[in-house]
A and B are shown apart, each in its own frame.
Chain A
Amino acid sequence: MARDLRKASRLRNEYSQLLVPVIAIVALVVFNLIRDPSFFSISLTVNNEGNHVLTGNLISILNGASELAILAMGMTLVTAASGGQDISVGATAAIAGSVFVKVLRNSASITPLTIIIGFVVCVVVSIIFGAFNGTLVAIFNIQPMIATLILFTCGRSIAYWINGGATPTVSSSILKAIGGFIPGIPVPTPVFIVILCAVIFAVIFRFTNLSFYTQAVGINQQAARLNGINSTWIKLLAFMILGICVAVAGCIRVSRLGLINHETILAEIEMDAILAVAIGGNALNGGKFKMSGSVIGAYTIQALTTTLYAMKVSSSEIKAYKAIVIIILVVIGSPVVKDAAARLRARLVRKTAPVAERS
């Protein structure tokens, strides 16, 4: 009995972090169902290429949040390890996408091999930029936000320089398959890429000490170091893993659009990614983290955006409504409000308990 109780309380602690994001997404779903019962209906249609594809708001939420979800996974790791956020992901993604496009355009024809080469080059470049940020943070002990401000300022200019200012296009049936639909499969490919990334992270966390070490470094760097964890390397690794995530997100976006515009590609996604981490209940000053929370946070943000679009809010006004929802979410999740709620619950329980005894 006692063991069950302890287990239950541990479970509660384990999952209370996910409470706010799950409540948020459920509330959004319920709101949409009340507003428009057919909001989540999915239909099978034929697209321009003659494939049978699923369409509907649910699919567009799942599809549209792909880049954000992947970036949020990497951002969670960086946040947990370094206690700060990388604000250069959008700019680095622009660089990665430009490199990808550059490689594809320099090859005679776009074959699976050139795409793989392009992707590998793009990942290497992103890892280098990630390592640059990581070096500043881990070795020079600079606050992550300040360190990544450098690439935030000049990253898109570097992307401009790679492709010479134009917005070059690339088109190929393989790219359409990566950014859109594989013929014969009705679900958009980016959704599978997100699942793949999630599985890879789950496997890494299951079979290595990465998650454990990252949390240890995030909670107390000195203590972690005294326990034999190389905290510098862990932080550097977190930034390099984020670099890989950025490369994947950049490639997905380039494949989806078929062109690269260094000014607008994944613009302001860094803010959304940080937001996803925060909505997921992760502490922004490092330590314990839950990657599933961040992924749910990413889908919550996309669901909110899709809902607002469905309510005919214009794209520039969306931010204002998004801000209100964010504030409501963080106020619910804030420690002070949580404590107050716990006290209220305790008082209610104390009031009702004697009544129950008497009867």
Chain B
Amino acid sequence: MITNKQVPGALVGRNKEPLTDTHLLITITICIFVIMYVMAMVIWGGGFLRPQQLFDIFNTNAYLIIISCGLTIVMVAGGIDISVGGITALVVMSCIVQLNGVTGSVLSSVLLALGIGLGFGLVQGYLIAYLEIQPFIVTLAGMFFSKGMITIVSSDPLTAENAAFLALKNARIEIPWLGYTAKNGNLIPGRLEIGVVIALMVVVIVFIMMRWTKLGRNLYAVGGNRQSALMLGINVKRTQFLSYLICGILSGISGFVFLTHSGAGNATNATAAEMNAIASSIIGGTLLTGGVGNVVGTLFGVLTLAIIKAIVLASGLRDPWWQSVTTGAMLSFFILLQSVVLANRGKGGFRTLFHKWFHSAGGLPNVASK
């Protein structure tokens, strides 16, 4: 699906464009997120009624949003990158070592984070795109390498002590009108961390890149059908290479954002982040087969996963296994949904189905029936 604006012949007569399957997947995700949040507000009230709950979800998941964006790019181009979690953790550790050193400064640690991400992206992209090695194996090696390097960089858990960095870490963007009044009468404003701003900026930039730039359209074309992209004159290898490069850089940024949230480095940081990121992308409507996906969906995928965890905690199921079981159940639901949508793709199944429903309900002439 190169363009999302294919209008099936049966519906040409209508002015309003029908929902495509891609948009349908995203719409379902967004609806489920909203429904779950409203449900949580109604049933559990309390914390869910305060905007701060939503802000906290953003604060803790900012890094996940960034790597999920990277993964969406790679997955749209038809690849997979499971090294993102490892790179994030490696960047966290390296930046702390750098910050705690004599010459440590925030700027150089940002550069270090970008450099590590760029390095991984370059090597992995080259191996996958130009040497045609399986992406899964290359990025698996990347994951092993980054996780092994963490303990080589520092085997002990570390905490950042650089004053300038701590100021950055503790900086909050306060939104007074979205705050709440505490019991003692003080107004506590809504607080967002710097990382969230970076994450949202990444989402916007990637969205613009995917939608309106040549590279973005090439990514969809390559992921949708490699052969026809090649015949259209698209530089398939370079496009693939760039997708991994961007993903690597985003992993580097994600590592720095993780650091501004936690401020501490540990060998178990960002464990299983790659799988959470893949799950978020899938929930957001990205297909692993390539060619379909949208970062806005991914953003809501991350939020949906987070709200599930928050709801499980709020409902008193504090055993850790409840979270992963509900996440698994949620994942199965979305995966089956995608499968059904995909099975009906091309047959116009959903469009005609909806059309019939609308028309039988509204009593309009049924143009969809052939």
Contact = CB atoms under 8 A, between A and B. Distances in A.
A278 B140 CA distance: 11
A165 B327 CA distance: 19
B142 A323 contact: yes
Contacts of B320: 157, 160
A153 B288 contact: no
A157 to B, nearest CB: 3
A4 interface: no
Contacts of B145: 319-320, 323-324
Which of A140, A141, A320 has its CB near the most chain B CB atoms (within 10 A)? A320
A227 B172 CA distance: 65
Interface residues of A, number: 45
A53 to B, nearest CB: 32
A95 interface: no
Contacts of B73: none
A274 B148 contact: no
A84 to B, nearest CB: 9
A154 interface: yes
Contacts of A275: 137, 140
A285 B78 CA distance: 13
A114 B149 CA distance: 45
Contact of A149 (B132, B133, B279, B342): B279
B159 to A, nearest CB: 20
A18 to B, nearest CB: 18
A322 interface: yes
A153 B342 CA distance: 24
A323 B339 contact: no
Contacts of B76: none
Contacts of A326: 137, 140-141, 144
A170 interface: no
Interface string B141-178: 11111011111100100000000000000000000000
Interface stretch (B17-25, B217-225, B328-336): B328-336
Contacts of A331: 127, 131, 133
Given A316-B151, A331-B131, A331-B133, A156 B324 contact: yes
A244 B369 CA distance: 49
Interface in B322-370: 322-325, 327-329, 331-332, 335-336, 338-340, 342-343
Interface stretch (A102-110, A209-217, A233-241, A332-340): A332-340
Interface residues of B toward A: which range?
35 or more
A318 interface: yes
A338 to B, nearest CB: 10
A321 B321 CA distance: 33
A85 interface: yes
A301 B137 CA distance: 14
A316 B267 contact: yes
A219 interface: no
Contact of A157 (B137, B324, B332, B336): B324
Q: Is chain B's interface secondary structure helix, strand, loop, or mixed overall?
A: helix
B289 interface: yes
B80 interface: yes
A316 B146 CA distance: 11
A319 B335 contact: no
A146 B336 CA distance: 11
Interface string B4-18: 000000000000000
A321 B146 CA distance: 10
B213 to A, nearest CB: 27
Which of A141, A151, A322, A334 has its CB near the most chain B CB atoms (within 10 A)? A334
Which of A156, A326, A331 has its CB near the most chain B CB atoms (within 10 A)? A326
B198 interface: no
Contacts of A150: 328, 331-332, 335
Given A147-B335, A149-B275, A161-B321, A284 B130 contact: no
Contacts of A274: 136-137, 140
A5 interface: no
A141 B80 CA distance: 18
Nearest to A144: B288
Interface string A295-337: 0000000000000000000101111111110110011001111
Contact of B335 (A146, A320, A334): A146
A181 interface: no
Interface of B: 80, 127, 130-134, 136-138, 140-145, 147-152, 155, 267, 275, 278-279, 282, 288-289, 319-325, 327-329, 331-332, 335-336, 338-340, 342-343
Given A284-B136, A320-B148, A331-B127, 18 more contacts: A140-B336, A141-B343, A142-B338, A142-B339, A143-B288, A143-B289, A146-B335, A154-B329, A157-B323, A284-B134, A284-B137, A317-B152, A320-B144, A320-B152, A326-B137, A326-B141, A331-B131, A334-B131
23 contacts: A140-B336, A140-B340, A140-B343, A141-B343, A143-B289, A146-B335, A149-B275, A149-B331, A153-B331, A157-B325, A158-B325, A161-B321, A271-B140, A274-B137, A284-B137, A323-B143, A327-B138, A327-B141, A330-B134, A334-B127, A335-B132, A336-B131, A337-B131
